[in-house]
Amino acid sequence: MTETLFTNIGQLVSPKPGVQRGAAMRDLTIIHDAAMLISDGVIRWVGPRPEAPGVLQEHDLGGVAVVPGLVDPHTHAVWAGDRLADFEARVQGVPYEEILARGGGIRSSMQATGAASVDELVALARSRLEALRASGATTIEVKSGYGLDFDAERRMLLAIRDLQAEFSLVPTLLIHVPPTEGRAEYVHAVCHDLIPTVASEGLASAVDVFCEREAFTVEESRAVLQAATAHGLGTKLHADQFHAIGGMELACELGALSVDHLEASGPAQIAALAASNTVATILPGATLHLGLPAAPGRQLIDAGAAVAVGTDLNPGSSPVFSAQLALALAVRLNRLTPAEALTACTVNAAAALGLKDRGALVPGQRADFLALHSRDWRDLPYTLGASPVREVYVAGREL
């Protein structure tokens, strides 16, 4: 067993382990002049350096701040083609939903992705995942959802499985937009064919649905998520992105791991969420890129909810290739404090994926951590457009 003592940590900064709700999201532990003992990829001890146990191998971190590795709980990192023409149209006033209703947007990504092989999808996604990891993301959720048919959905999930050899990924089956005809048959087949197949092949940990006027109704979403539960998979929901049509309430009622977006959530939705065990995942990159109202992050925390932050990396609504930037944007756009944003991007983001073994720098957790360039951890939420992350460690190994 190789033990390494990381020493000369100017500040070791961590939320408490496990999901944190409301005001507890601000409760960080900060140890000055700290050390951290790691063996077999797991944290064994943290504390002030003078109290550290003696070990053979030491690694001097040079006095900088250390924080937990970030968890990105919401990405669509596998896609082919691009959405550059959509972008140009949107910035000149054509709404995202109108582009989708005309058969563009997500549907155009489905055409390109459906035509790509597993190997092509792996190659396209790899560089995006490398960018996310360099930004500090040590665990990344990746959704399917650009498959034109079930075969294409499966190819996306196979690409994610291949990439798990290089990255720490959590795969989600996303039921994204319905076919223009035969949607009842489609939903039936998702529940009775696609979900059982994906569950039996172990290709996804959870199922997500885009519940929205231009996508699936609440009742269709309910049927899909109930099928997911029946097959032992976790559930998540894209809800209240453009309209609060009942998606948030559905996610809470069904005990989903997370409900994501929430830009259109009002007081009733915030109250429902605060009374549930579902994590609220907010996605400031989509707010910035689409120029839409921000999700009510401040109000959700004040109401006592557990908030997580993700990049939502995707070609249409959030070309954000940095988990650190998502964290920094949540402070500006959703009015989280720096401490809340760190909790949202670590333990709460892990909880949104059903993971309890990472996100905090305490004994027993996986040794995922970031050494920053700075001696003050607040450079992490502060910096825009350059990386404050010097090194990324996953399970105790520098990558």
Q: Which of 203, 197, 196, 149 is nearest to 173 (CA)?
A: 203
Tokens found for residue 102 = 């005309």
Give me the residues paired with residue 7 across strands.
60
Q: Does 240 bind Fe ion (CB under 5 A)?
A: no
CA distances from 75 to 17, 126, 326 (A): 23, 13, 12
| Residue 156: both structure tokens together | 């996306």
CA–CA separation, 59 and 148 (whole Å): 49
Q: Is 146 annotated as a binding residue?
A: yes
Determine whether the annotation assigns residue 176 to a binding site. yes
Beta-bridge partner residues of 47:
35
The response to whether 317 counts as a known ligand-binding position is yes
- The correct pick among 122, 286, 294, 380 for binding ligand NIG (CB under 6 A) is 286
Binding of ligand NIG by 246 (CB under 6 A)? no
**What is the number of the residue whose Cβ is closest to ligand NIG?**
316
Q: Which two tokens stand for residue 216?
A: 């699936």
Q: Which backbone phi and psi does 18 adopt, to 5 degrees? A: 85, 170
Among the candidate windows 157-165, 218-226, 313-321, 384-392, which touches ligand NIG by CB under 6 A? 313-321
Residue 33: phi and psi, rounded to 5, are 45, 65
Q: Which of 86, 212, 312, 340 binds Fe ion (CB under 5 A)?
A: 312
Whole-Å CA distances, 157 to 223, 258, 325: 21, 20, 26
Among residues 153 and 312, whose Cβ is nearest to Fe ion?
A: 312
Shortest Å distance, C-beta 110 to Fe ion: 14
Tell whether residue 20 is among the known ligand binding residues: no
Position among 167, 210, 369, 377 found at the interface with ligand NIG (CB under 6 A): 210
241 lies in the binding site for ligand NIG (CB under 6 A): yes
Residue 285 binds ligand NIG (CB under 6 A): no
Q: How far from 213 is each of 110, 218, 244, CA to CA, in Å?
A: 19, 9, 9
Q: Is 83 marked within a binding site? A: yes
> Which residues lie near ligand NIG (CB under 6 A)?
76, 105-106, 109, 210, 238, 241, 286, 312, 314-317
Please state the residue numbers annotated as binding site for Fe(3+).
Answer: 74, 76, 238, 312
Write out the residues near Fe ion by the rule CB under 5 A.
312
Question: From the annotation, which residues make up the binding site for 4-imidazolone-5-propanoate?
Answer: 83, 146, 176, 241, 317
